């Protein structure tokens, strides 16, 4: 009986330790999901404590290795093929947010190493200027 | 040769000459301007297959330059040209890529700004430069980074269609502009 209780206790400890560890390689994050586009306004929030309280969607904390954003013209690009919103896309940690800007439609990829970050971070996309950006964001670990 | 045959031959020659003139005019007129072309063809490179390169679907990749420990690439993909950066000590991998669906280089977008910006405050709207770099069309000789009041924070020269510096000023940055050889501003964002 004592032996059974010991095994059960060890299992409980192992479960707690495993849950406390961040997911490493197989993790993934998409916004709004992995198959459609979402509208990012200056008041949009993914509601999980991103660097900016409004205008930003971010992943959970993990060992991310790539952030990819697809941006469309919706609701319409201007004469210069610019979308209605400028986004900052990249990563953030507890001390700062870093990334690159774009206002053009297209596909944009960035590694944490490109912004001098690594370790336990968040992937992010922020509506920086303009009215709205239709995007799909995805991060891989 | 009958008069009819001669007339037919003359007509055929006239049509051929007109076609040649039209083709020559069309070729000259459609030759891209200095803000819509990149003359640095670089050196062809091949990247290792990973999540990024698979997503990009690269047809051809050229290494344009290596500056300050960074490698700058122009990629020809199924969705048009992309600009990319990587590390020269890891020649088969990419660190970032920008693919604006064929809208680069054009007279409207002669600069692909690959710069990294940062903020340590939670106030939306204020960023500073972490690193300045990018790829430009032939007609751009320098790229300026602007303060919120429009003054110039730093000017980075373009060489071989690439600009790059890690020597960046502190303080807020609110825009980017491109200058031609005469110092005239030919592009600005936003």
Q: What CATH code is carried by the domain that includes residue A129?
A: 2.60.120
pLDDT reported for residue B86:
94
Window 36-65 of B, Cβ < 8 Å to A: 51-52, 55-56
What percent of chain A has a predicted confidence (pLDDT) above 90?
79
Helix, strand, coil share (%) of chain B residues, nearest 5: 20, 40, 40
Is A7 part of any domain? no
CB distance from A120 to chain B under 8 Å?
no
pLDDT for B138 beyond 50: yes
Is A2 part of any domain? no
To the nearest whole number, what is the mean pLDDT of chain A?
86
pLDDT reported for residue B49:
85
Number of domains comprising chain A = 1
pLDDT reported for residue A70:
97
Nearest-Å Rg of the Cα atoms of chain B is: 23
- Own/partner long-range contacts of A112-116 (Cβ < 8 Å, ≥24 apart): A112/A64, A112/A65, A113/B87, A113/B95, A114/B85, A114/B95, A114/B96, A114/B116, A115/A90, A115/A91, A115/B116, A115/B118, A115/B130, A116/B116, A116/B130, A116/B131
Q: Is B108 left (phi over 0), alpha (psi -120 to 50) or beta?
A: alpha
Which of these ranges, A120-124, B27-31, B43-47, B118-122, has the smallest mean pLDDT? B27-31
* Facing B100 at nearest CB: one of A105, A114, A129: A105
Once rounded to an integer, what is the mean pLDDT over residues A26-35? 86
* One-character DSSP codes across B72-136: EEEEEETTEEEEEEE-TTSTT--SEEEE-TT-SSSSS--EEE--EEEESSS-TT--EEEEEEEEE
Chain A residue with minimum CA distance to B129:
A98
* Facing B190 at nearest CB: one of A81, A103, A113: A103
Strand partners, B118: A98, B128
pLDDT, tens only, B160-175: 999 999 999 999 999 9
Once rounded to an integer, what is the mean pLDDT over residues B6-23? 51
Do A95 and B118 contact (CB within 8 A), yes or no? no
Which of these ranges, A73-82, A114-123, B28-37, has the smallest mean pLDDT? B28-37
pLDDT, tens only, B85-104: 999 988 778 999 999 998 89
pLDDT, tens only, A4-27: 444 444 333 333 333 333 334 445
Global pTM reads: 0.82
Min Cα–Cα distance to chain A from B16, Å: 38
Is A100 part of any domain? yes
Best residue in A85, A106, A134 for a mutation probing chain B (most B CBs within 10 Å): A106
pLDDT reported for residue B55:
86
Once rounded to an integer, what is the mean pLDDT over residues A42-62? 97
3-state secondary structure of A45: strand
Is A17 part of any domain? no
CA gap B43, B62 in Å, rounded: 5
- pLDDT tier at A132, thresholds 50, 70, 90: very high
Nearest to B100 by CA among A33, A133, A111, A83: A83
Is A11 part of any domain? no
Once rounded to an integer, what is the mean pLDDT over residues A47-67? 97
pLDDT reported for residue B1:
54
Nearest to A84 by CA among B176, B190, B178, B45: B190
- Do the Cβ atoms of B116 and A98 come within 8 Å? yes
Nearest to A66 by CA among A105, A25, A126: A25
Domain membership of residue A64 as a residue range: 24-140
A-chain residues near B190 (CB < 8 A): 86, 103, 129
- Do the Cβ atoms of B103 and A81 come within 8 Å? yes
What is the bridge-based pairing of β-strands B80-86 and A97-102? unpaired
CA A88, distance to chain mean position in Å, is: 12
pLDDT reported for residue A30:
97
């Amino acid at each position: 009986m004592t032996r059974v209780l010991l095994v059960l206790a060890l299992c409980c400890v192992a479960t707690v330790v495993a849950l406390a560890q961040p997911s490493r390689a197989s993790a993934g994050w998409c916004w709004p999901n992995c198959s459609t586009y979402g509208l990012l306004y200056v008041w949009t929030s993914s509601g999980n404590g991103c660097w900016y309280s409004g205008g930003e969607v971010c992943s959970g904390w993990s060992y991310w290795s790539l952030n990819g954003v697809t941006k469309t013209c919706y609701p319409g690009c201007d004469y210069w093929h610019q979308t209605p919103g400028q986004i900052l896309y990249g990563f953030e940690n507890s001390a700062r947010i870093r990334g690159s800007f774009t206002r053009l439609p297209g596909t944009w990829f960035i590694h944490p190493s490109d912004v001098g970050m690594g370790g336990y971070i968040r992937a992010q996309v922020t509506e920086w200027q303009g009215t709205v950006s239709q995007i799909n964001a995805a991060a891989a670990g | 040769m009958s008069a009819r045959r001669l007339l037919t031959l003359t007509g055929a020659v006239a049509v051929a000459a007109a076609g040649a003139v039209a083709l020559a005019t069309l070729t000259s007129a459609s030759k891209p301007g200095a803000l819509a072309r990149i003359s640095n063809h670089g050196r062809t490179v091949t990247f290792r297959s990973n999540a990024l390169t698979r997503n990009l679907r690269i047809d051809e990749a050229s290494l344009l330059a290596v500056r300050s420990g960074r490698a700058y690439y122009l990629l020809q993909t199924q969705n048009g040209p992309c600009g990319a950066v990587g590390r020269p000590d890891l020649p088969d991998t990419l660190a970032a890529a920008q693919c604006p669906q064929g809208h680069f280089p054009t007279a409207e977008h002669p600069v692909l700004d690959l710069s990294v910006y940062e903020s340590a405050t939670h106030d939306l709207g204020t960023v500073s430069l972490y690193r300045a770099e990018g790829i430009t069309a032939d007609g751009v000789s320098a790229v300026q980074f602007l303060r919120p009041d429009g003054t110039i924070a730093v000017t980075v020269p373009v060489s071989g269609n690439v600009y790059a510096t890690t020597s960046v000023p502190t303080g807020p940055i609110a825009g980017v502009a491109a200058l031609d050889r005469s110092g005239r501003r030919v592009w600005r964002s936003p």
